[in-house]
Structure 1
Amino acid sequence: MKESPAEGRLERQRARQRAIAADVMAEGSVRIEALVEKHGISLMTAHRDLDALVARGIVRKTRGVVTALPSSLVEASDLFRRGRQQAEKAALARAAGAWIEPGHSVILDDSTTTLSLVPLLGDKAPVTVITNFLPVIEDLTGEPDVTLISLGGRFHPWSNSFMGRMTVAAIREVRADIVIMSTSAITDDICFHQTEETVDTKRAMFDSAATRLLIVDHTKFGRRALHALAPLADFDQVIVDWRTPAEHVERLRHKGIDVTVAPAVRAR
């Protein structure tokens, strides 16, 4: 499907905001004039982009200076997550895609790892996709042979997704063939997330699917977050990338967890 001019502008805006966020997080604080000069944009455009980052809880803007927020929500933000481990996410998406068959109904959570699956779904059509993640909704809108079910509820700008009581209620009304999700952290071989809303929403997705897949890159092992979702042993399949240390893979298999190691995807 050919990209429209409006879609092209939106994607350039998102890419620029990701780059600005990366600059601020790398430096801690940056003068707005420096961002204007580095990215070749007007002061008005810089303020619009920064206002969007402020609304998503990533930065603070005061007196010509923008500062990264020392918040757990920064790492939870989809804007932060999209630019990280891209090769690993492509490999995980390819491996997870092998589980999807034409006619399947698939729940995709609000992870940027599952977002990497979207370009592969055309080869699996017809499929039904159920999601609370706005970027997935936007990418699949108008896609032929994909039935899209958007889960509404309260919109959370920092994660670019719908979560909460209304979202959970909507999930409980469906029964899908498969759910594919990721996690923020794995501690003691248990999935953890930063917010209760995230856990409640993902738990409802987990309970509404016949087959449960977890796809995680190697950086999630040993990370910490506050709220537990589920042990890895509760998933039908855990897919990790090729950079995952062997001791993690061997330990999980010793526990009887079905683990697939996704090989690197060759660049075309």
Structure 2
Amino acid sequence: MKDSAAEGRLSRQRERQRAIAADVMADGSMRIEAIAEKYGISLMTAHRDLDALVARGIVRKTRGVVTATSSSLVEASYLFRRGRQQAEKAALARAACALIEPGHSVILDDSTTTLHLTSLITGKTPLTVITNFLPIVEELSGEPDITLISLGGTYYSWANSFLGHMTVAALRDLRADIAVISTSAITDDICFHQTQETVDTKRAMLDSAATRLLIVDHTKFQRRALHALAPLTEFDHVIVDWNTPDEHVDRLRRAGVAVTVAQPAPRTRDRR
């Protein structure tokens, strides 16, 4: 009986911690007092739960506030990522759109950066768009001049997309003109992601495209993740934002990578 009761408490604790992590990732940050109130637990219990999440690299604690983070093992949720680096992502999307032509078949991955492309590519129709990202499907489903191919598979709520072997199998039967993808982290000029399912799916996207385009904001050069996807030299074109240090841009160009530095919209321009 004691073992059963202990297992029940541990199960409830883990479930509560998963729920807390989901809340923090969705909002970006939460006050610890608000977490304790929402879950009907003491501040001490809330701190213990959060300490467990901090130890796993999922959140950070500072002065009564807990903040979402992406780590080498855990990717931040779609809702959290969507609100980050908005100006940079918009600039990357504009630069990427310039490389897409009417009549192209285009693979778009499940990154919030490629999501910015949806409002732009409607001016490049007719197009065929292939994606595993539910928000892109929802955005483009009513466009009459876009043939939309939605990739199925196992749905992952944190990514709001379909990943895994069924998605990979569908991609193997397709050949697109261009694949536009982003990445979670860049280390030693290699793209990395936190999950193998993501890597497998994006690898299949790259293998199914004649032209491979990577779009990344400057923060990706500051992050780490566990699973390698591809070296930057494997891409036909890499687009970075204006805040990317020159040393990264120069190094990639010396390695023979075609690099475009996307510039901000005039009203947000603050350097070069």
Normalising TM by the smaller chain, what interval?
0.7 to 0.9
Question: For residue 31 of structure 1, what is the aligned residue in structure 2?
Answer: 34
Contact 2:25–2:77 under 8 Å retained in 1: no
Q: Does 1:77 align with 2:77?
A: yes
Deviation readout 1:135-191 (Å, 9 max, x if unpaired): 101111111201110000100011100000101000111100000000000000000
Partner of 1:63: 41
Rounded to whole Å, the distance in 2 between the matches of 1:18 and 1:150 is: 29
Mapped to 2, the partners of 1:208 and 1:171 lie a distance apart of: 7
Structure 1 residue 23, shift from structure 2 partner = 2.9
Distance 2:42 2:146 in 1: 46
Q: Deviations over 1:44-100 (max 9, x none)?
A: xxx8xxxxxxxxxxxxx5638887644347643211110100000000000000111
Partner SS state of residue 221, structure 1 = helix
Question: Contact 2:74/2:194 (CA < 8 Å) preserved in 1?
Answer: no
CA distance change for structure 1 residues 74 and 265 in 2, over 3 Å: closer, same or farther?
A: farther
Secondary structure in structure 2 of the residue aligned to 1:31: helix
> Given the superposition, is the C-alpha separation of residues 30 and 140 from structure 1 closer, same or farther in structure 2, using an over 3 Å criterion?
farther
Give the aligned CA root-mean-square deviation in angstroms.
Answer: 2.2
Question: TM-score if structure 2 supplies the norm length?
Answer: 0.77
Q: Which deviates more, 136-145 or 182-191?
A: 136-145
Report the TM-score, using the length of structure 1 for normalisation.
0.78
Which one-letter code corresponds to 1:123 in the other structure? G
Deviation at 1:19, TM superposition (A): 9.4
2:236 paired residue number: 236
Question: 1:198 & 1:164 partners in 2: Cα distance?
Answer: 7
Paired-residue identity, %: 67
Say which SS state the counterpart of residue 266 (structure 2) adopts. coil
Q: What is residue 176 of structure 1 aligned with on the other side? A: 176
Distance 2:128 2:181 in 1: 16
How many residues end up aligned between the 2 structures?
A: 224
* 2:245 maps to amino acid: P
Whole-Å Cα distance in 2 between the matches of residues 78 and 20 of structure 1? 8
The ranges of structure 1 where at least 4 consecutive aligned residues each deviate by more than 6 angstroms after the TM superposition are: 17-20, 64-68
Q: Structure 2 CA distance, aligned partners of 1:258 and 1:20?
A: 35
Please, which runs of 5 or more residues in structure 1 have no aligned partner? 1-16, 35-46, 48-60
Match of 1:8 in 2: none
1:190 equivalent to 2:190? Answer yes
Deviations, residues 179-208 of structure 1 (Å, cap 9, x unaligned): 000000000000000000000000000000
Deviation string, structure 1 residues 207-238 (Cα, Å, up to 9, x no partner): 00000000000011131100000000000000
State which structure, 1 or 2, has the greater radius of gyration over its C-alpha atoms: 2
